[in-house]
Amino acid sequence: MKSRQKLVRWLGSGVVAALAASLLITSASGAGRTASTTGRIPRLSNGKPDFSGIWQTTSAADYDLEPHSARKDAPPGQGIVAGGQIPYTPAALEKKQKNFAARNTADPRLKCWTLGTPRGIYYPEPFQIFQRAQDLTLVFEFGDTVRTIHADGTLHPVDTDHEFWLGDSRAHWEGDTLVVDVRDFNDQTWLSRAGDFHDEALHVVERWRLIDANTIDYQATLEDPAVYSRPWNIEVYLYRHREPGFRLIENYCYTLDYDQFYPVPRS
């Protein structure tokens, strides 16, 4: 809980507002290289962009967020981290390297645990967004995972010691961009199969934007002073599944370990 206390102190110091402002600037500069919105995008009746649909990345981000050549257990990828490298503190980098070495047994994904935020977004299985004016509901095919992004003006809970797997998500609109502030995490999730990690002080600011009717430009800024020396940014595109009849198929994969114990009885 040390890191938790640290965060609380940090919040109390009022530093966070200034930092958040700087994050937005960083993030906005990162956005400079993305295409502007083209063509018509779907909208709700209130005029806000409508993200409803089934989405999935085509990137290799979940294998490794940083640029990497092919490995036996990962296709190559250019990475999705702005600047290429995650700015780990020296101690955290050591831990990441240990995680990397143990990745084929230690990745929480292998136990089918909830992937967390943002990993669930760029994990290579589809998720479906259901959207109302007041919230977005993200149903992930992988695991028993439903994430609500509140867009009704409510604030993070006063009690900030919940330690959610997915964080607590509160959003507002900046033009056609949905900006989501996510905090109050536990430290049980990884960010990739390469052992990238965070602790409970993780704070994620996501920026969701439709660049055309079938493509979401997803950006996120991650900060966690116990693990990273500065905030850092990722950006990945999500593509709409348009195959006729495509639908989410439940994958409560943690049940597969005991599936063998539940044969359907027969006469």
C-alpha 116/C-alpha 131 separation (Å) is: 20
Stretch that binds another protein, among 8-16, 88-96, 98-106, 160-168 (CB under 8 A): 160-168
Residue 26 binds another protein (CB under 8 A)? no
SS3 176: coil
Residue 142 binds another protein (CB under 8 A)? no
Tokens encoding 246: 């495509």
Residue 246 binds another protein (CB under 8 A)? no
Given 1, 17, 25, 264, the residue binding another protein (CB under 8 A): 264
Site for another protein in 44-63 (CB under 8 A): 45, 52
Residue 98 binds another protein (CB under 8 A)? no
C-alpha 55/C-alpha 251 separation (Å) is: 16
Residue 148 binds another protein (CB under 8 A)? yes
State the minimum distance, in angstroms, from the CB of residue 128 to another protein: 7
Given 19, 74, 139, 226, the residue binding another protein (CB under 8 A): 139
Residue 166 binds another protein (CB under 8 A)? yes
Pick between residue 117 and residue 221 the one whose CB is nearest to another protein: 117
Residue 6 binds another protein (CB under 8 A)? no
Pick between residue 175 and residue 265 the one whose CB is nearest to another protein: 265
- Single-letter amino acid, residue 199: D
C-alpha 39/C-alpha 43 separation (Å) is: 12
State the minimum distance, in angstroms, from the CB of residue 212 to another protein: 21
Count of Cβ atoms closer than 10 Å to residue 8 Cβ: 14
Dihedrals phi, psi of 56, to nearest 5 degrees: -165, 145
DSSP 66-104: S-B--BTTB--B--SBTTSS--B-HHHHHHHHHHHHTHH
